[in-house]
Chains A and B, each alone.
Chain A
Amino acid sequence: MYLAKRLAGACVVLWAIITITFGLMHAIPGGPFTQEKKLPPAVMATVEARYHLDEPLWSQYVDYVRHAAVLDLGPSYKYPGKTVNDIIAETFPVSAQLGLISLFLAIGAGVLAGMAAAWYKNTWIDYTMMVGATLGVSVPSFILAAVLIQLFAFTWPILPAALWKGPAYVVLPALALAAQPTAFIMRLTRSSLLDALGQDYIRTARSRGIGTRSLICHHALRNALLPVVSYIGPLAAALMTGSFIVETIFAIPGLGRHFVTSIYNRDYTVILGITIFYSFLIMMMNLLIDVIYPLLDPRITMDGKKEG
């Protein structure tokens, strides 16, 4: 029942997203066939008629929604041999692969480092990690990518600088992509762990003579990870759909670059298709997190009510 409600809500949200995106993208001047060398008017008219761009907007809109309802996202204008479904099917696995690797890296390294920082609170270890985290959050991925390429493709040429042809090609982009979320997860883990360690139940446990190690791992961590888990939902969706910047710098054939290039190209169907896909993915990830939540904290039920 709960799931059905959530899914129905998702459909309404998706419809609203389609409508707003459709309106916005047609409000920008220029179309898929606008180019530096203007086409003769007769040629332009014929080309637009072929793709039904000459029809009134409302009819294009109705047509689109009708097809989208049965998951047919239409042909791309920029890549006419491909449908939007083809493009997503080709590029999403690449972005998802890279995204998942970065996600595991970020969670693993972030949680461990956060725990260490909390454990050694106010020692040099904690301070070093916090400086690292601040750097990680504030250095943009394209700077980090450039530094990584300079170091590992030129100074010590052990890794390829770009392209996507095998395991070695994953390392640098995964690092560039993981740095920011790692730093964020680390800070989140540290602060919520410290917060949890100050709670009454921990004091009670401590008074019963339980050691710090066991306290953190068995008692505090579970509670402390809740904010991290809720951050991971949207993070997973964002990482898996790829980053325009990282994919461009490393020439990775992923979905991320389409978010930006489709707008430059006025590739209407691709703009809509990937917007729908991304929204859907975010909603599903959030739903997944909401399902996982009660498992971590029995006080939370799926309806979102916190029981006493």
Chain B
Amino acid sequence: MKKLLLLLSCLLTAVLFSGCGIQHPDTVSYVLEAEPSRLDPAMTTALVESNVELQIFEGLTRLDDDDVPQPALAESWDISPDGKTYTFHLRPGIEWSDGTPITADDIEYSWKRVVDPDVASENAYMLFCIDKAEDYFNKKASADAVGVKAVDDRTLVVRLKEPTPYFLNLTAFHCYYPVPRKLVEAKPDTWAADADGMVCSGPYKIVSWNHSSEIEVVKNDRYWDAGSVILDHLDFPISDSQATRLTLVESNQANMTVEPPPADQERLEQMGLYKIAPYLGAYYYVFNVQKKPFDDVRVRKAFALAVQRQGLMKYIVRGEKEAAYAWVPPGLKDKATGRDFRKEGGNLIAEDPAKARQLLKEAGYDDQHPLPEVTLLFNTNEMHKAVAEALQAMWKENLGVDVNITNQESKVFMATRAQGDYQLARASWIADYIDPMTFLDVFADDENDAQYHNPAYNALIAKAKASNDERQRMAYLHEAEQILFDDCVIIPLYYTTQPYVAQPYIKGYHWSPLGLVDFKKAYIDESERK
């Protein structure tokens, strides 16, 4: 018995003292909201991955603090007058973190890899603006036909299907980052699944990755702009619990994280930790325009006009979100006038309960002819539920109709909505790139959730895509958005923001409206630190 106890205590000591952590005092530590599935920029789709990828990789362009694409791996480019051919000139002397040069050939290889049908990247459609890329993905053209060609080590020529005025924005997007060809060919699935042997091109390089626990990156001395990088260390502890992430920051084990629990907002504001970044996204309800009773535009409008947003924002949604009266969120430039696209377009939907009741009557529904059963579908979540209940009450009060609300587990919900097996459902959309098109082409898609197929709308989107004239393009887009509301396909509720928590001494980072934090120029202001 004594021997056993001795053995046990030895074991315990051994277990306890295995693997001690090292803390760097000059480290910025940002708690990630999940374990990245891997760090292959061509393959990953979630923000948690692209956020780390942004620190360790670089595209031909990189967004600056005003979210304008600036030369990065490319030092300059020429655009043909028809807007369809881009010639990129790579910066001389750019290298991977292992010292091998980054060439135009790497970029050609990397882009073709994203649309390679055998690689099957979920990001493939982001490159379909490149000539023949979609055909290659659908096995209707060869890789050689794809419109991207390395002319020499430092020159890359890209042929686009249609003039895509936001193309330089796309080249800053993660699936356009070059990947190290030799490494990827040697280990196609696993090259970016561990820190060991991984090669980087960005301001930082990865040194350790303790899965589901922490990723550690350090300054990459071979980065072309290493002179602008101040931090030596950057840590990404990982926790998928909102409460734990906040606890880590409050107990000084970390100093930044995203999306604190809404209930803590006031307390964090008082402590000066609560911050809000702009975020291009919308939270809305979508009608299935082919399901009764919402196949009648008057019923859709009645439901939309009966919604009142101010109380909803103040008491339920919070997080300083802005009530939405149209589809495209503020923060996108109308390139024709230089003003904000949203300001230019104005509000496209009103709040008018009286008119809502009248429309419902016109559609033939009243006390004698009650509306058929209507069900609102959302995915299980406290906030979604609170919003749904608030709207249910508004429709009861303003229209006198009883709406059922039903929740489903996330993936069940997404599958149901994608199959069009619903009447009215919750939805949200986050911008892929900084242009109104990323919102407006959603409803031109053959298989959009609303089951909405309006040839006039689709024609406008197609014309906008084919246009190289910003004035005309913006006019088409405004017109398309107006049609979307004439047809009342959605009930926009609010535009998203990105609440986050950061110690005030962390400075120099930039939060882009695509949900990414760039730590390239981040630093710790010692004078503000206690």
Contacts and interface: CB of A to CB of B under 8 A. Distances in A.
Nearest to B417: A38
Sorting the interface of chain A by its residue count into under 10, 10 to 19, 20 to 34 or 35 or more gives 35 or more
Nearest to B5: A108
B120 A37 contact: no
A81 B183 CA distance: 14
Nearest to A167: B16
Interface in B109-145: 117-118, 120-122, 124-125, 137-138
Interface stretch (A180-188, A196-204, A248-256, A297-305): A248-256
Interface residues of B, number: 63
A6 to B, nearest CB: 26
Interface in A223-278: 248-254, 257, 261, 264, 266
B412 interface: yes
B412 A50 contact: no
Interface in B400-420: 409-412, 414-416, 418
Contacts of A153: 247, 251
B499 to A, nearest CB: 19
B192 A81 contact: yes
A161 B237 CA distance: 13
A223 B138 CA distance: 71
Contacts of A264: 409-411
Given A100-B15, A166-B21, A46 B125 contact: no
A170 interface: yes
Contacts of A63: none
A101 B124 CA distance: 47
Contact of A81 (B38, B125, B247): B38
A78 B418 CA distance: 20
A101 B15 contact: yes
Nearest to A149: B247
Contacts of B427: 36
A32 to B, nearest CB: 9
Interface stretch (B50-58, B206-214, B334-342, B518-526): B206-214
A82 interface: yes
Nearest to A96: B15
B122 A43 contact: yes
Interface string A36-55: 11111111001101100000
Contact of A160 (B19, B45, B117, B253): B253
A78 B212 CA distance: 13
Interface in B8-41: 8, 11-12, 15-17, 19-21, 35, 37-38, 40
A79 B193 contact: yes
Contacts of B191: 81
A29 B212 CA distance: 27
B415 A30 contact: yes
A253 B138 contact: no
B416 A248 contact: no
A100 B411 CA distance: 35
A248 B245 CA distance: 10
A99 B506 CA distance: 37
B137 A46 contact: yes
Nearest to B254: A163
B411 A163 contact: no
B244 to A, nearest CB: 5
Given A37-B429, A42-B137, A81 B20 contact: no
Contact of A90 (B138, B211, B414): B211
A161 B214 CA distance: 15
B347 interface: no
Given A50-B120, A166-B20, A167-B20, A80 B43 contact: yes
Interface string B222-253: 00000000000000011111011001101101
B67 interface: no
Given A81-B190, A101-B12, A29 B138 contact: no
Given A30-B414, A81-B189, A104-B12, A250 B244 contact: yes
A261 B33 CA distance: 13
Interface in A278-302: none
B210 A253 contact: yes
A253 B213 contact: yes
Contacts of A104: 8, 12
A79 B20 CA distance: 27
A97 interface: yes
Contact of A248 (B193, B244, B429): B244
Interface in A55-107: 75, 78-82, 90-91, 97, 100-101, 104
Contact of A253 (B37, B211, B447): B211
Given A80-B38, A81-B192, A253-B213, A46 B117 contact: yes
B445 interface: yes
B311 to A, nearest CB: 26
B212 A91 contact: yes
Nearest to A39: B122
Contact of A43 (B21, B124, B247, B250): B124
A35 interface: yes
A36 B237 contact: no
Nearest to B214: A163
B24 to A, nearest CB: 13
B108 interface: no
B466 to A, nearest CB: 19
Nearest to A170: B16
Contact of B411 (A154, A162, A257, A266): A266
A34 B213 contact: no
Contacts of B45: 35, 37
B279 to A, nearest CB: 14
Nearest to A150: B247
A164 interface: yes
Interface of B: 8, 11-12, 15-17, 19-21, 35, 37-38, 40, 43, 45, 117-118, 120-122, 124-125, 137-138, 189-194, 210-214, 237-241, 243-244, 247-248, 250-251, 253, 409-412, 414-416, 418, 427-430, 445-447, 449
Given A29-B411, A91-B212, A162-B247, 13 more contacts: A34-B414, A36-B427, A40-B125, A42-B138, A43-B137, A75-B189, A80-B37, A82-B193, A90-B211, A104-B8, A104-B12, A160-B251, A163-B214
20 contacts: A41-B446, A42-B138, A46-B120, A75-B189, A78-B37, A80-B37, A81-B37, A81-B38, A101-B15, A162-B239, A170-B15, A170-B16, A251-B213, A251-B237, A251-B238, A253-B211, A253-B213, A257-B212, A257-B240, A261-B240
- Ordered nearest first, which 4 A-B pairs have the shortest CB separation? A81-B193, A165-B21, A30-B411, A253-B212
